[in-house]
Amino acid sequence: MRLSDHERDLLPSDDEVRFYQEHGYYFSRKIYSDEEIDRALAGSERYYAGERDNPLPEGTRFFPGWKPEMGDVLRKNDYASLQNRELSAIVRKPILGAIAARLSGSPVIRLWHDQLLYKPVDTPDKPANVGWHTDRGYWKTCTSTNMITAWIPFHDCDEQMGTIMMIDGSHRWPDNTEKLNFFSHDLEGLEKSFDTGGNAIVKVPANLRKGCVSFHHCLTIHGSGPNRSTQPRRSIAVHMQDQSNRYQEQRRADGSLAFHYNDKLCRKESAGHPDYTDPAACPVLWEG
């Protein structure tokens, strides 16, 4: 995989990699043109309208996700880029994986899965924020704690729109993964439960121009507030594996066996475990 000279200039510098390691997030320069982002937005509309360029295999279509009958609530649809060609193009653009590789120090980056997101304009009766959480909290079946997420808005995005927010340095705090919750509307309540290890809680909103991307470590606490603008907030989160990641059998705090939808989607290894290197479900996004 190759980058153009211009794209190589867009990679994080050594200082920016150190910043990511220390703070748990990084906001990129403009890596997508306006036209590329507009095509992704159009692809998301086709997806929401029910069109599928590559439907998921039989037996995996039970995956939860927003459907029109759910109405104007927060929409979260996983695996959209496997099924829609415009979203696939945005996710598989090599510079995205190349930045993830630089930040995580991994020579190979594979897709873990994506989440197409749509946050409607806030109304008091239908809260639509994203509760504080870590991605790792949902990825207990993964051996790696060095996975990384890219969050790509489909327009300029700021605090008024309820952009994604990072808790600075929280990837180095004591483990908070179990008590946090993506689907909670109670940001303040969750914040009170943080075990900060004595660190200050510093919230950093990802105020991004169209074409820029926010990256975060899988242990970084993040979430987002209501959309107080006049337009829906649209984005896709691209969750990525570093080279080392494999399946592990793991129990949650309550004793139940951890499960991820990739365990259903991926082909099986000889031992019968899911193969997280399956190129159909988890394609390589970057190999340096």
Binding test (CB under 6 A) with ligand AKG, winner from 78, 86, 114, 135 = 135
Residue type at 24 in one-letter notation: G
Residue type at 21 in one-letter notation: Q
Binding mask 68-107 for ligand AKG (x = CB under 6 A): ----------------------------------------
Closest by Cα among 133, 160, 136, 157 to 146: 136
Is residue 117 at the binding interface for ligand AKG, with CB under 6 A as the rule? yes
Binding test (CB under 6 A) with ligand AKG, winner from 237, 240, 282, 285 = 237
Question: Cα–Cα–Cα angle for 245, 246, 252, nearest 5°?
Answer: 100
Closest to ligand AKG by CB, 6 vs 187, is 187
Is residue 118 at the binding interface for ligand AKG, with CB under 6 A as the rule? no
Q: Which of residues 208-227 bind ligand AKG (CB under 6 A)?
A: 222, 224
For the chain, the first-to-last Cα distance in angstroms comes to 7
Closest to ligand AKG by CB, 102 vs 234, is 234
Binding test (CB under 6 A) with ligand AKG, winner from 32, 151, 154, 286 = 151
* Sequence-separated (6 or more) residues with CB below 8 Å from residue 12: 20, 26, 28, 99, 102, 103
Counting other chains too, the contacts that 270-273 makes at CB distance below 8 Å and 24 or more residues apart are: 273/247, 273/249
| Alpha-helix residue ranges (DSSP H) falling in 153-260 | 187-192
Closest to ligand AKG by CB, 31 vs 237, is 237
Give the single-character DSSP code of 231. S
Specify which residues 25 forms β-bridges with.
216
Binding test (CB under 6 A) with ligand AKG, winner from 80, 96, 108, 130 = 130
The footprint of ligand AKG (CB under 6 A) covers 117, 130, 135, 149, 151, 164, 182, 222, 224, 235, 237
